Structures are given as structure tokens and as C-alpha cells.
Amino acid sequence: MLFALFLVSVLSQCETQLCTPSAAIGEMKKTMITKLKAQNFFDNMVKYIGAFAFFDIAKNPPQPESMPNYHTPVDIQAEINTINTFIKDSEEQFPLYDLFIRLFKMFALPKDLHFALNIQSNTTTHKIGDFLVINPFTFQLTKDAVYIKVPEKIGRSPVTDFFDKELVTLLKSKDDNNISLSKINGIKATEFIENYAKKYFRMKNTNAAVTLLKNSFVMSKYENFAIEINDMNFMLSFSDKTEVNYTSVFFNTKIKTDKFKETIEKYNKIILKNEITRSRINTQKHKVSGYSGFIGDFIKKTDFSSKQKNGDLFNYSIPDVIACGQRVVSNQKFYILVVYTFNSDFDKFLALTDQCKKLFDESDDPIVVILDNNSGGTVDLSAHIQDSLAPYNVFDVLVSQRISESTEIVMRSGGAAQLLDPKTKKSRIPRQKEYYKEDLGKWYDSPVTDVFVSKSGGESKFVRTQKSVYEKEFKMKYNMKNVRNPNQIIMFTDQFCFSACSFLSKDFRQKNAALLVAYSGLPYSTIQERDVGQSPTVVITDKLIRYNNNTNDENKEKELDEFDEYGFEMQISFSPTYPRNVSFPKIPDEYNIHYPHEYFENEAFEESEESITKFLEEAQRVFEKYRTRCDEGMYIFDDKCIGNKDSVGGHICQNGQYNYNKCVLVGCKNGLELNQTTGFCGNHTSEYFVNSAFGIFVLILSLSLLFLF
């Protein structure tokens, strides 16, 4: 059965709210740019790209042992050369869109959402950033089949406002009757979805890309994924032998009509929130690691079902940010912490977290953490959750930066003041308003060169600063008294868990401080094909380079350039983080995989009693499984292991069981870190534990958590 595109003008231009892909792109192509401006714009962009941390590593990325082709090599310099040739061979003026598409593809190649070319929402000189891509459903995957899920609304508008009623009715019947989707465009449905996600959704891990696809398929900003016209025509073949054809719709956000008034208002609120995120990056007040282009919260989970919130689901909450509560499942009490984003008012987030910690202190029952569709935000908020739930394993995150002219500008403009020497904990430069013109110091002027050699003989060199740690911008006001054992914290993370979210999930996995359970993605993937988070890297924008270039005159009027004229803004992956595992001291966590302990076949978390129960039932299964058994590297605390006032003793896992005959150092109290040189807490130089259960002295067996610099 063939459906046309419906309520849409099929002209070569789009002057209405809804239009075809070709008409929308025709509108985008109307704006022209001169060769001179294009070259100037790109020359500046290339200079700013010098601060991109993975510029060199991407050419020959380190690969996981089990998957030697996991990361696709990308030669950014070759892409730069290609675009330079395109500009030089162009007419004296040509469509800005043609340049944008080539730039977009360059930014997309490293599969790093932090590395992006954004368009500011108030741009009026062109229409590339004006359009949303709309589809009438998203996908639901099981081990055996693929189904479609049709929302009741898109934004605040019925689906029939975007697509022909007959089409929507037919698709809804497939959804309601659980008729599976066999093929898309003649290709097996699971294979099509996997390939489509890899092509457009810019994540290093396939399961993460599939999760982002499912979260974004109903509605996404065109500028974020720039899907090709031919890939917006769909032929759906269902298991009942019927076929449905349709084409994605483009929605113009700059046209205001009564019909879509509420949808536009909702969209503008989300865009404002994203603009606030970018403004935080530009001020450097807080360290930000997140995807500011995400509009997934435009389509709520409840838009796909009749399940609604049943009364007060949580004890404390900031809507769409963070919430906590408690439940009893099969006579087992669980505390719940749901974190949707770290993009929040700083003080309100900290205050809510303290309320949750006081709730968790009412007993020593397990804590369930759910990280659903979390696109990151402020790094310190993520660190606050880490240090709150795992106070015996507090560590500052190691970072470095690529040596370049643009990096140096950021450092001298205040970036280095946020960085601390890992040993002395002193700032790399003084905090000051003026541009710093003194020597930066050996940490910058005596860089380290990391060499990555592939099995095929390829080589890349990463010339970077010496490692630093970021200064934490918060002080812990409330410390938990009932600190949980790692097997009493069950952390659920969907496969998207991006940026600041992955700071939390990867940190807990590296420290073995919780049981990590992945969900969403491809149900048939193995544990080794899953990762608990994506891109734990701090991000900057080009404005930290452009607006701080060797000037200490705050009153000097900023010179407008092509970035300002056309509303473009770059996001740049700036400060990669490093793992605690000394086996891989030079590989940034951007390229490391952290496998979950378990996989939970579930699409998403919903704010409903039914969904909470489903997650807690799985949490109970995992909790019971790991109550006595364990994996290598896991540990538990034991207050019978008595050491000095700063030490936390316990037992480590050996051969699948905890060795209760030996007390070892498993953590540090009072906010102290494990000393990277001595292997003891803080300034202690030796450690003996008394195991009061056996009355014997046991020499410390320090965990392998030493840092290498």
C-alpha cells in the first residue's frame, strides 16, 4: 500500500510548516557564501580543530584486544585537505549548504558527538538549523523480532497533524496487534537498523548508536544527523505480508501557526535549555561534558503508551533531572535513584542529592541507580554522585590536552586554573581575569608523546600535556553513614549513557564499586559488544578560543566573523580522561570499553509503577546472584578488619568467592585518596589490619589502583 506525503507541498522550496526533504533542502540551499568568506571561515575552523584531543589518535586508534576493528580509523587532516580543495575549486559564490554538508561529514567521522558543528537557534542568515526531521514511529527490538511503536503525540501535536490519517491508522494497527517488522527497504529489519545507526548516529559503540536512533527517530534536528534524502524514504514489510511506504517529513521550527503553537513553545523551551548548557561551557564556570544538541526529551516515554504516573512515584525529585524513592519487592527493600541528566541548576541538584542520601541512610538495604537517556551535563554533578555513593573510593579524574596553539589560548584564558597538579593539588596557573602571559610550566612546556601502533603497522602520535586533575567545584555537605558494599549498588545504564553520564558509569565499573547492568541497544549483542557509557571527555566550544585570543581587554568589542554571521558554533572534545587500570596508562577512556556485569532485556525506563517494579525485579535477581559469588577484582567492606583511622579493610574476590581469611585495604576514609606512590591512604607509609573475627595480623594487600603519570 502506497502513501504519499500528506499535508505537504511538493515544491522545490518550503514556505509552509511541513514539507518534503527535497523542498526543505531546497530552502537551505538558497543562502550563498562567497569563496573568500568560505575560505576564511574554514581556515579559522582548522585552527580551532587543533584543540580536538583525538585529532591524531583517530588516525590509528587503539583497539580492544577482543575486537581489533572496533574503532574505524579517521584521517582528519585528509578531510581538511579535501574540503580545502572543494572551496578552491568552487565558483566565486556557492550554496552555504554545500559547505555545511562537507563539514558535517568531517565532524561525524570520528563518531564523537562532542566533536560537532552546531547552529545557534537565533540564526537568521540561513535555514539549515530551522528544520526537524519527523517520523511517525520508532522501533522496539527483542531477541526475536522488531516492532514499531507509534506515539500518541509528537511534541504537543497528534501524529495525524504530521502524517496522513490513513497511514497513521495503519501503522497504529501494526503496533496494537504486535505485528513484527520483517524488512525495511528490502533489508532484514535488524540489519537495516544496525547499519542505519552506524551510518548516522555517530557513536563508537553500535549498541549506543542503536539506542540513540530509537530515542531520536520520531524527531531529531536535521543539523545533528544530516540524513541523506534517499535514506528518508522507507518501505516497511511486515510479517503479515503487507507493505507500507512513506517518507520522513521536515518541520520548520521558525514558522508559527496556531496548529503547532504548543509544539513550537515546547521545542523552544528545550532549545533554551541546550543554549544554557553551551553557555556554561563558554564561561568555564563548570566543567561540561554533554550532548547539547539532544532533543530526545521532546518525545516522552509516556507518549508511546497509556501508562501514566501513579501518584507520587518518588520521595524527592527535580522533574526530568533526578529523583529518588524506595520500594519493597518480594520482601526486599530497595532504594531508587534515577538520574536523567547532569544538566541542571548546580545548587538545586546538590541539595536534592543530599536529601536522597539521608533517605538512603535510613537502612543498609541495596541502592538501585537508573541512568536513562542521560546525555550528560556538568562533570562535577556526576562526580558528586560518585563520591556520595562510593565515599571510600574517591579519586580525582586524570585528564590531558593536545598541544596546539588553540589549546594554549584556552589554558591562558583560565582553563589551566581549573587544572591541578595530581601530586601537590595546586592549580597549574593562578586564577585571574586577565589573559595569563607567564610561563605555563613544565606540565605544558614539556609535553608527553604517546605512540599508538596497530597490529597492521600503522602508527599515530599524541603529543599532549602532562596529566592533571580537575579541581572539584563542590564540597560534600552530607556524608552517608551506611556506606554500601559494591554488591549492594545495582547501577542500570542504557547503552546511550553519554559524556558526564559515562564519567559516573565507567568510574563505578573501573573501581568495581557497583554491579553494572546494561539495557536497551541490540538485544542479541554479547556482553563484550556492550559498553557502560560513551565519551567521558570534557568539551569546550570555539568561543573559548575566538573570544580570548591574546587579549586582556574585557571591554574590547568582539570582532564579528563568519562564525557569528552564519550562527555556527563548534564543540570540541578537549580533555580526555584516563583509566585507573595501570595496564593501559596512555589510552584515553574514549577508546576503552567497560563491559557491564549483566544485560537486562528492556527498552527504556518509564516513570510508571509498572516500570519501576520491572527494574527492581531485575535488580533483585542481580543482587541475589552476587550476594555470595563475585568476579575478579570485586571486594566487600568488613568493619571487623581494623586498620588505621583512614583505612577501610575488607575482602577481595578470588576464584569466584570472597576470601574472608584475609583482610586487605579496599578503600580510604575521610575523603582521602589511595596514594599513587605508596599504595596507602593519604600520607600513611605502612598498614596492618587486625581481623577481629580471627584475631590475626594480616599484611596489607594493596589494590592495583595506582596512577601512572
Note the pLDDT tens digit of each residue in 160-203.
999 999 999 999 999 999 999 999 999 999 999 999 999 999 99
pLDDT of residue 400: 97
Residue 31: pLDDT band (50, 70, 90) is very high
Note the pLDDT tens digit of each residue in 64-82.
888 889 999 999 999 999 9
Q: Beta strands 598-600 and 515-519: pairing type?
A: parallel
pTM: 0.91
Note the pLDDT tens digit of each residue in 370-395.
999 999 988 999 999 999 999 999 88
- 269, with CB counted inside 10 A (0-12, 13-18, 19+), is exposed
Note the pLDDT tens digit of each residue in 41-50.
999 999 999 9
Nearby residues of 73 by Cβ (< 8 Å), 6 or more positions away = 58, 59, 60, 61, 458
pLDDT of residue 253: 93
Enter the C-alpha cell of residue 581. 587500570
Residue 692: pLDDT band (50, 70, 90) is low
Q: Quick one: what percent of the chain has pLDDT higher than 70?
A: 87
Q: Is the pLDDT of residue 85 over 90?
A: yes
Average the pLDDT over each of 159-163, 489-493, 625-629 and give the range with the smallest value.
625-629
Q: Which helix (H) or strand (E) covers residue 38, if one does?
A: helix 35-49
Q: Is the pLDDT of residue 10 over 80?
A: no
Encoded amino acid at 533, one letter: G
CA distance 345 to 400: 27
pLDDT of residue 701: 35
What is the DSSP code (8-state) at residue 307? -
What fold, for 307-391+485-536+590-625? 2-enoyl-CoA Hydratase; Chain A, domain 1 (3.90.226)
Q: Which helix (H) or strand (E) covers residue 85, if one does?
A: helix 76-89
Nearby residues of 378 by Cβ (< 8 Å), 6 or more positions away = 280, 286, 287, 288, 290, 342, 343, 344, 346, 500
Taking CA atoms, 40 is separated from 34, 47, 215, 484, in Å, by: 10, 11, 37, 56
- For residues 24-37, give the mean pLDDT: 97
Mean pLDDT of all residues in the chain? Answer: 88
Enter the C-alpha cell of residue 213. 536512533
Domain residue spans in the chain? 132-254, 307-391+485-536+590-625, 635-699
- 544, with CB counted inside 10 A (0-12, 13-18, 19+), is buried
CATH of 132-254, one of 3.40.640.10, 3.20.20.80, 2.30.42.10, 2.60.40.290: 2.30.42.10
* Nearest-10 crossing angle of helices 379-389, 346-360: 10
